[in-house]
């Protein structure tokens, strides 16, 4: 598999991620003013929510694999900002993988925070690519952060792909967290007026 093939594949996935994030944000905003959009949002959460952690794990795993290919396979030298983005992305793979396996929603704030921090670094990196004069000298002169190793469809560079991945992880994690909880009557407890008990449990995985 050539570098061109890999970059094209990752670029196409990035476009899918961007469209998904844009649609999710639009739906969340529209749901505040439109009952129809609110129903669509609820249906989307019901459909995607149970698999959201698994999907977020796959996004992180593909992103990690892609970055390793760029440095080890294509021999692109990671800059300082690239390493910061790796520090944010790589831990998400085991964290989200374990959370998906255990169905642990408690990981949500940590994963969302880590991905959001990575997105901030990616956004700054993209800005430096567009406006190199903004570089304050924080990056290595011998390996500047303004080098563009890949450009697909006129705008997709490696930091742009990373930003798309981080944004999608945040979107998926928040969608997972937004899943409603439903009351379930405890087994063996009567449903008399004074003896009804229920617990809140997450919806079962589909």
| pLDDT per residue rounded down to tens, the chain (206 residues) | 799 999 999 999 999 999 999 988 888 888 888 888 888 878 777 777 788 899 999 999 999 999 999 999 999 999 999 999 999 999 999 999 999 999 888 888 999 999 999 999 999 999 999 998 887 777 888 889 999 999 999 999 999 999 999 999 999 998 865 554 444 455 555 554 444 444 444 454 44
Question: Could you tell me the two tokens for 48?
Answer: 């995607």
**Contact assessment for residue 202 and residue 179, using Cβ atoms and an 8 Å cutoff:** yes
124 assigned to some structural domain: yes
Residue numbers of the domain that contains 116: 3-180
203 assigned to some structural domain: no
Distance CA 183, CA 135 (A): 54
**Contact assessment for residue 116 and residue 122, using Cβ atoms and an 8 Å cutoff:** no
Residue 187: the pLDDT is 54
Q: How many domains, the chain?
A: 1
Residue with tokens 């469209």: 19
113 assigned to some structural domain: yes
204 assigned to some structural domain: no
167 assigned to some structural domain: yes
Residue 163: the pLDDT is 97
Residue 184: the pLDDT is 46
The helix/strand count (H/E) of the chain reads as: 7, 2
Distance CA 122, CA 160 (A): 7
Query: Residue 53: which of 98, 83, 89, 23 has the closest Cα?
Result: 98
């Amino acid at each position: 598999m050539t570098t061109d093939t890999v970059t094209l594949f990752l670029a196409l996935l990035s476009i899918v991620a961007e469209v998904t994030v844009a649609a999710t944000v639009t739906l969340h905003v529209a749901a505040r003013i439109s009952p129809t959009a609110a129903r669509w949002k609820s249906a989307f959460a019901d459909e995607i929510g149970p698999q959201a952690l698994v999907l977020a794990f796959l996004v992180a795993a593909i992103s990690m694999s892609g970055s390793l290919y760029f440095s080890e396979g294509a021999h692109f030298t990671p800059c300082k900002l690239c390493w910061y983005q790796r520090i944010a992305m790589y831990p998400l793979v085991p964290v989200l993988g374990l959370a998906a396996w255990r169905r642990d929603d408690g990981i949500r704030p940590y994963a969302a925070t880590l991905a959001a921090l990575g997105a901030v670094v990616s956004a700054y990196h993209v800005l430096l690519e567009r406006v190199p004069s903004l570089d304050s000298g924080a990056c290595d002169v011998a390996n500047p952060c303004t080098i563009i190793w890949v450009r697909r469809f006129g705008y997709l560079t490696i930091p742009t792909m990373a930003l798309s991945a981080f944004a999608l992880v945040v979107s998926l994690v928040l969608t997972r967290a937004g899943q409603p909880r439903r009351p379930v009557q405890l087994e063996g407890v009567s449903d008399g007026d004074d003896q009804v008990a229920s617990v809140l449990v997450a919806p079962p995985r589909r």
